[in-house]
């Protein structure tokens, strides 16, 4: 399942950024705790020194104890290792009538040959509150940052990817048969897109050149084949007029003549296809399709021994603006197709309105997929009499004039629809 | 009668020459523009069969040159198939007729004969074989002086065969003669057979048996 790039980056951001933020917050919290601890130690040391200085200055005549501030005790104990280290305690705080957390630091001093234990206290409530507040603020800031990152990522990707979508649109609209030039800007302001556009420009150039080459090849090849085919035809005509021709030779010659004529026809059709592709039918005019269709049907009724039952529904004076020979070829190929691929004693329905031409005929279902019907040399069974180019030609003419063409098979009926608009 | 064939493909030139020599024409061939100009300047031809694409010039230029020499030789232009512009240009420059490549020699033969009849016919617009006669002006046919009632296609077919008297004309050539480019769209040329069958029947009724002969699977011919 492909997702939009934006969705994917957002997803990554939303998964990883919070994780990083949590880790960062933790580190931040620990660092802050350490900093607070250090600060309290400094505070207590300072207080200790101040108290002791005051004690000496007043020659011991100061308060020995101020609750929650300091305490000076005479002591005979030697230095404990726990002294000079911060430690937690709770003290009864009279003003609030409850026990509150404090930190204390004890140190031993000597004065007048007497040892004194000086303990100073500092409340840890304020600092804990401060830590919590700072931490909360930090969390809010980080969350805002996360939201901002996601938001700006969303917002900027629209503008940043704009050249990409512009390229995509142009590439989608590219139609090789029209040999369009696709000129994408190579200075979008983003190196990657510049390179992409450069690559697409080069690719389209190459594709167009290759396509042109192929088209020219088909045209040139058909053109070159015309002369040898004409020579074969003329020699055959001379040959069949030889006076002492045997029946066997005559039958062989008849087969050769027929095959050669089919080859000529195929070659002419290929040339015609190439010419339509190369847009070599510039002369257009108003053509009355109604009259043309009726003529084609009338003519075909003469050619075929077993012409199907025809039913026509032809609106009068349906006009199109196109090249006359091409429309003739289109209509007669469609009718011919419907006659040839019919069943014995089959039917043919012709409907023509201002917007479309529908040709329906009875027939066996196709062996291949319907869309392949319009490809060159796609033949159902090996009907040797047909060139396999008829419907390819129809399709080519339709695409030249922007007509739509569709094929459908339904309960014994083949339906080909040409939409003029 | 003299005929000039201007065609750059030697093999094709040779075929055309041979075919028309069998029709008792005196045929000159030219493979290049310059060779053709030389011949046109010195000799008058009943008909010039002119290919437009020549290695050293265009058949159309040659046509202009011809009119500049104030010659009124009949000209049939050979143009590439589907090249409408060549046809139009050729006719505008005074060509009498055009034929698209590849063509049947029998068709070219019929065109040349028609051209010569039109240009130098002196009223001879009759085709005749045995007791069969076709009047090309009134488009009527008689057999032993009895009128034959023919459809348009049957008439064209008979005229085509008479123009190619004593020659085998293929089904394909007949189909293209009658239906022109439309013949491309035909699945088979069996309808030629039915036209011939009807024609033979009508001829037989009026006593013109065996004028149209079937030559194996190859085609048909009118023999005298």
pLDDT of B20 higher than 90: yes
At what angle are helices A390-401 and A324-340 packed, to 10 degrees? Answer: 140
Whether the predicted pLDDT of B34 surpasses 70: yes
Output the six-digit token pair for A242. 């030889």
Which range among A291-300, B85-94, B163-172 shows the weakest confidence by mean pLDDT? B85-94
B216·A250 Cβ contact <8 A: yes
Instruction: Specify the pTM.
Output: 0.67
CA distance B175 to chain A (A): 10
Is there a contact between A230 and B187 if contact means CB atoms under 8 Å apart? no
Q: Rounded to whole angstroms, how far apart are CA atoms B44 and A326?
A: 41
Cβ contacts of A197 within 8 Å, gap of 6 or more: A163, A167, A184, A185, A186, A188
Contacts of residue A155, defined as CB under 8 A and 6 or more positions apart, other chains included, come to none
A266: left (phi over 0), alpha (psi -120 to 50) or beta: alpha
What the block records as the tokens of B33 is 């523009």
**Chain A positions in Cβ-Cβ contact with residue B172 (cut-off 8 Å):** 257-258, 261
Judge whether B121 and B176 are in contact, CB under 8 Å. no
Predicted pLDDT at A95: 78
Residue B205's pLDDT band (cuts 50, 70, 90): confident
Probe site for chain A from B9, B14, B15 (most A CB atoms < 10 A): B15
CA distance A100 to A85: 20
Is A256 within 8 Å of A236 (Cβ atoms)? yes
Closest to A114 (Cα-Cα) out of A59, A190, A189, A182: A59
Chain B contact set for A247 (CB, 8 A) = 216
Q: In this complex, which of A227, A247, A275 lies closest to B9 when CB atoms are compared?
A: A227
Is A108:A48 a contact under the CB 8 Å cutoff?
A: no
d(CA A345, CA A337): 16
Q: Note the pLDDT of residue A365.
A: 83
Per DSSP, which regions of B59-204 are E strands? 74-80, 97-101, 126-129, 132-135, 140-143, 146-148, 169-170
Q: Helix, strand, or coil here: B144? A: coil
Query: How far is it, in rounded angstroms, from Cα A300 to Cα A296?
Result: 6
> Cβ of A374: how many Cβ atoms within 10 Å?
19
A326 touches chain B (CB under 8 A): no
Closest Cβ opposite residue B186 in set A223, A247, A303: A303
Q: Which pLDDT score, from 0 to 100, does residue A13 have? A: 86
Nearest to B211 by CA among B221, B219, B196, B202: B221
Rounded Cα gap, residues A402 and A359, in angstroms? 19
Chain A residues with beta carbon closer than 8 angstroms to that of B12: 227, 230-231, 234
Pairing of strands B47-51, B74-80: parallel
Please indicate if any CB of chain B lies within 8 Å of the CB of A254. Answer: yes
Supply the ipTM of this predicted assembly.
Answer: 0.85
Q: Please report which helix (H) or strand (E) contains residue B222, including its range.
A: strand B219-222
Indicate yes or no: CB of A226 within 8 angstroms of CB of B18.
no
Tokens 């030039």 belong to A181
pLDDT mean by block of 10 residues, chain A; 421 residues: 81 89 89 90 90 89 86 77 75 81 86 86 88 89 90 87 90 80 86 92 91 84 85 91 86 89 85 80 86 88 80 90 88 88 88 92 81 76 69 89 90 90 75
Q: Quick check: B187 and A340 CB within 8 A?
A: yes
Q: Which of A254, A303, A308, A336 to mutate to test the interface with B (most CBs of B within 10 A)?
A: A303
Q: Can you tell me the distance from the alpha carbon of A125 to that of A106, in angstroms, rounded to the nearest whole number? A: 20
SS3 B81: coil
Check residue B188 and give its pLDDT. Answer: 66
> Of A222, A237, A293, which to mutate for an interface test with B (greatest number of B Cβ within 10 Å)?
A237
**Per-residue confidence (pLDDT) for residue A191, from 0 to 100:** 92
What is the rounded CA–CA span in Å between residue B138 and residue A125?
131
Q: How far is CA B36 from CA A230, A234, B7, in A?
A: 22, 22, 9
**Contact call for B12 and A234, based on CB within 8 A:** yes
Strand order in the sheet with B212-215: B169-170, B219-222, B212-215
Distance from CA of A216 to the nearest CA of B (A): 17
Q: Residue A357's CB: how many other CB atoms inside 10 A?
A: 23
Q: What is the pLDDT of residues B44-74, one digit of tens each?
A: 899 999 998 888 888 888 988 888 888 888 9
Interface of A with B in 266-285 (CB under 8 A): 268-269, 271-272, 275, 283
Partner-chain residue, chosen from A234, A250, A336, that has the shortest CB–CB distance to B15: A234
Note the pLDDT of residue B107.
93
| Three state DSSP letters for chain A | CCCCHHHHHHHHHHHHHHHHHHHHHHHHHHHHHHHHHHHHHHHHHHHHHHHHHHHHHCCCCCCCEECCCEEEEECCCCCCCCCCCCEEEEEEECCCCEEEEEEEEEEEEEECCEEEEEEEEEECHHHHHHHHHHHHHHHHHHHHHHHHHHHHHHHHHHHHCHHHHHHHHHHHHCCHHHCCCCCCCCCCCCHHHHHHHHHHHHHHHHHHHHHHHHHHHHHHHHHHHHHHHHHHHHHHHHHHCCCCCCHHHHHHHHHHHHHHHHHHHHHHHHHHHHHHHCCCCCCCEEEEHHHHHHHHHHHHHHHCCCCCEEEEEECCCCEEEECHHHHHHHHHHHHHHHHHCCCCCCEEEEEECCCEEEEEEECCCCCCCHHHHHCCCCCCCCCCCCCCCHHHHHHHHHHHHCCEEEEEEECCEEEEEEECC
Report pLDDT for A384. 58
Report the distance separating Cα B131 and Cα B141, nearest Å.
11
The span from the CA of B52 to the CA of B58, in Å, is 5
Q: What is the pLDDT of residue A82?
A: 64
User: Hey, what are A111's tokens?
Assistant: 């004065």
Write down the H helix ranges in B7-83.
10-22, 33-42, 59-68
Quick one: pLDDT at residue A382?
Answer: 55
Mean pLDDT across the stretch B107-113?
A: 92
Q: Exposure string (b/e) for A83-113, b if CB count within 10 Å is 16 or more?
A: eeebeeeeeeeeeeeeeeebbbbbbbbeeee
Size of interface A-B (CB pairs under 8 A): 98
Taking CA atoms, A110 is separated from A24, A50, B33, B43, in Å, by 47, 15, 136, 152
């Amino acid at each position: 399942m492909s997702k939009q790039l934006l969705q994917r980056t957002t997803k990554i951001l939303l998964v990883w950024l919070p994780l990083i933020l949590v880790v960062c917050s933790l580190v931040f919290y620990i660092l802050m705790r350490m900093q607070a601890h250090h600060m309290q130690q400094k505070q207590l040391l300072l207080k200790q020194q101040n108290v002791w200085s005051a004690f000496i200055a007043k020659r011991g005549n100061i308060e020995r104890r101020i609750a929650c501030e300091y305490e000076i005790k005479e002591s005979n104990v030697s230095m404990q290792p726990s002294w000079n280290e911060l430690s937690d305690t709770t003290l009864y705080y009279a003003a609030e009538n409850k026990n509150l957390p404090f930190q204390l630091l004890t140190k031993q001093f000597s004065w007048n040959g007497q040892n004194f234990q000086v303990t100073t206290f500092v409340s840890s409530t304020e600092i804990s509150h401060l830590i919590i507040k700072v931490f909360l603020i930090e969390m809010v800031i980080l969350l805002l940052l996360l939201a901002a990152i996601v938001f700006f990522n969303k917002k900027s990707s629209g503008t940043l990817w704009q050249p990409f979508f512009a390229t995509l649109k142009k590439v989608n609209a590219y139609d090789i048969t029209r040999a369009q030039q696709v000129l994408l800007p190579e200075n979008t302001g983003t190196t990657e897109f510049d390179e992409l556009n450069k690559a697409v420009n080069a690719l389209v150039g190459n594709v167009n050149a290759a396509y042109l080459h192929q088209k020219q090849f088909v045209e040139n090849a058909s053109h070159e084949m015309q002369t040898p085919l004409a020579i074969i035809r003329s020699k055959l005509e001379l040959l069949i007029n030889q006076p002492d021709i045997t029946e066997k030779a005559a039958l062989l010659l008849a087969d050769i003549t027929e095959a050669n004529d089919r080859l000529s026809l195929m070659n002419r059709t290929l040339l015609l296809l190439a010419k339509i592709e190369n847009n070599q039918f510039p002369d257009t005019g108003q053509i009355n399709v109604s009259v043309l269709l009726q003529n084609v049907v009338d003519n075909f009724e003469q050619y075929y021994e077993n012409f199907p039952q025809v039913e026509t529904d032809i609106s009068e004076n349906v006009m199109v603006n196109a090249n006359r020979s091409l429309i003739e070829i289109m209509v007669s190929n469609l009718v011919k197709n419907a006659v040839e691929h019919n069943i014995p004693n089959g039917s043919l329905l012709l409907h023509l309105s201002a917007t479309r031409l529908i040709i329906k005929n009875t027939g066996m279902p196709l062996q291949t997929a319907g869309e392949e019907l319009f490809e060159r040399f796609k033949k159902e069974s090996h009907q040797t009499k047909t060139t396999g180019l008829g419907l390819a030609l129809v399709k080519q003419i339709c695409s030249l004039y922007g007509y739509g063409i569709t094929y459908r098979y339904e309960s014994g009926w083949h339906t080909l629809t040409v939409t003029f608009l | 009668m003299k005929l000039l064939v201007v065609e750059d493909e030697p093999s094709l030139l040779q075929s055309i020459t041979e075919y028309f020599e069998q029709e008792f024409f005196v045929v000159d061939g030219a493979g290049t523009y310059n060779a053709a100009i030389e011949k046109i300047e010195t000799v008058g031809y009943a008909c010039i069969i002119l290919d437009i694409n020549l290695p050293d010039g265009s058949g159309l230029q040659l046509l202009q040159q011809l009119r500049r020499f104030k010659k009124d030789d009949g000209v049939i232009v050979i143009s590439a198939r589907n090249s409408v512009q060549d046809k139009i240009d050729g006719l505008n420059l005074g060509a009498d007729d055009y034929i698209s490549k590849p063509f049947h020699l029998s068709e070219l033969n019929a065109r040349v004969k028609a051209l010569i009849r039109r240009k130098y016919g002196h009223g001879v617009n009759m085709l005749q074989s045995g007791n069969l006669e076709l009047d090309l002006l009134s488009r009527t046919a008689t057999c032993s002086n009895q009128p034959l009632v023919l459809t348009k296609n049957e008439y064209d077919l008979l005229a085509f065969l008479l123009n190619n008297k004593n020659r085998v004309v293929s089904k394909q050539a007949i189909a293209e003669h009658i239906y022109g480019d439309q013949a491309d769209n035909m699945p088979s040329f069996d309808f030629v057979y039915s036209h011939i069958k009807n024609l033979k029947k009508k001829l037989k009724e009026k006593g013109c048996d065996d004028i149209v002969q079937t030559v194996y699977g190859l085609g048909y011919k009118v023999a005298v």
